[in-house]
Amino acid sequence: MTTNHENQQMSTLSTPRLVIGAPQGRSGKTTFTLGLLRALSRQGLPVQPYKKGPDYIDTSWHTAAAGRVSRNLDSFMMSQEDICRSLAQHSQDCQFSLIEGAMGLFDGLDINGSASTAEIAKITSSPVLLVLDATRITRSLGAIVMGCQHFDPNINIVGVVLNKIARARHEKLARETIEQYCRIPVVGAIPKDSRILIPDRHLGLVTNGEWSETDTFLDNLADVVSENVDIAKIMELAQTAAPLSYSTPTKFSVSQGYPLKTKPPAPRIGVIRDAAFSFYYPENLAVLESKGAELVTISALAHQHLPKDLDALYIGGGFPEVFAEQLANNRTLRQEIRLAGEDGLPIYAECGGLMFLGRSIITGDGSYDMVGLLPLDTRMEKKPQGHGYTVMKVLENNPWFRQPKIRGHEFHNSSVLNLDRTKIEFGFEVERGHGIDGKYEGICYKGVMAAYNHIHALGSPDWAECMVKLATQYKERRSKMVFELFKSS
């Protein structure tokens, strides 16, 4: 991705930091990261969490554990400069930054490991702490660590945490092998314990908002980490991170904030945010506000009416299929959203939001009525229908983006059925990914843009400006109609 280097000055970040990596997925990175975050938080140490890659659920758990909003660092959707600026901006007032990786350390999009955890470690000049699943393996763990050390000499692996240790002899043999042959410390050995597993579903872990025992669970994880891991040694290893140079715009950027583009009163943008729709990048919401919008939070589960005088609506992803019956029972709100959409209210909907705007969601338990604004139904399938990074070519009729192409990601187990193509247009042509049908993505109907594709404001900086512009135009049209009615009365 390209970056404009004009009007920038260089700064340096010296905050201690670590990347939590593993040779493969499901090694225990998330549970260890959460336990460490909560343990440090309980000690009164401000720690800033990050997640490599496109992820909403792990970041929500990070936020609950650390008491600070977790951020995503993704080298497919973001430039290196944006990654470093985001890391620097949100780490300035903390003593430690922790970046949880995804999948295996070197797993990326291609043979070069692009968009991998290792790439993030190199971009951010961060040392790596490996979490190893020690199930049914002892001395061979040393070979795995040594392989990671030599696979890419630019990756600085500084320590190891052993996970799922069976007994003392198991730990002793694994620890001594790694420390003798790999010359790095084993800073912890976590025993097998089914109590520290987070339930998951088709998109990964359940969201922390769905659990009433979140704090109890996180405290239990912190106890496990505190008892079995040398936290002081981890902090010492984090201090080996080299100073990170990054460019600071002298004007503005997405991460630093935009100047206001609209005149008061600001357009009001509703954001449906609850247990059913919780997938929002904090940067997306922040940039809408910095562009001049007033955000109004709405619950599709608890609120029966839309707020008055909305000028646009933002519906993120989530799990509407899990709450389908509750959404279906909220008939008044569904009707108000449909009528507002038919009136031309700008609505931006991602994944779960697309499903909600359709006629129905079909699950294994039955069919549930949704908003009915879009001429389609969605059905939950047994396997993912779209999974991974996306590249979308923006079509001419799409008013939500000025960029010729946008990068994003998708992860959905639903498919679109019974789409009446005579009533809609598509906003994107798929170059990478699946979208609606493998060829097109982004359903445009009146003021609606609904897509499976998720975008991040750092990678699509003009999206927010376009949304606020559309909201302002709708506000002006609505005000003009009210004025004409008043004049004629």
The domain locations on the chain are 9-248, 268-480
Per-residue pLDDT reduced to its tens digit, 33-77: 999 999 999 999 999 999 999 999 999 999 999 999 999 999 999
CATH of the domain spanning 9-248? 3.40.50.300
Reported as a single tens digit per residue, the pLDDT across 392-407 is 999 999 999 999 999 9
pLDDT per residue as tens digits for the range 430-461: 999 999 999 999 999 999 999 999 999 999 99
Q: Where are the alpha helices (DSSP H) in 152-196?
A: 168-181
| 326 three-state secondary structure | helix
Give the pLDDT confidence of 456-468 residue by residue, as tens digits: 999 999 999 999 9
SS3 of residue 128 by DSSP: strand
Residue 1's SS3 state is: coil
The CATH fold of domain 268-480: Rossmann fold (3.40.50)
Per-residue pLDDT tens digits for 244-275: 998 876 444 544 444 444 456 899 999 999 99
Structure tokens belonging to residue 326: 């509750």
Predicted pLDDT of residue 489 = 57
Active-site residue, 444 included: no
> 3-class DSSP state for residue 262?
coil
Q: Are 324 and 360 in contact (CB under 8 A)?
A: no
Q: Is the pLDDT of residue 162 over 80?
A: yes
The model's confidence at residue 213, banded by pLDDT at 50, 70 and 90, is confident
Name the average pLDDT for the chain: 92
Same fold, 9-248 and 268-480: yes
Q: Please name the residue that has the structure tokens 């660092």.
A: 73
Q: What percent of the chain has pLDDT over 90?
A: 86
Say whether pTM exceeds 0.85: yes
Q: CB of 377 within 8 A of CB of 363?
A: no
Answer for the pair 159, 184: CB distance below 8 angstroms, yes or no. yes
Catalytic residue of the set 84, 182, 351, 466: 351
User: Other CB atoms closer than 10 Å to residue 235's CB: what's the count?
Assistant: 16
Supply the pLDDT for residue 5. Answer: 46
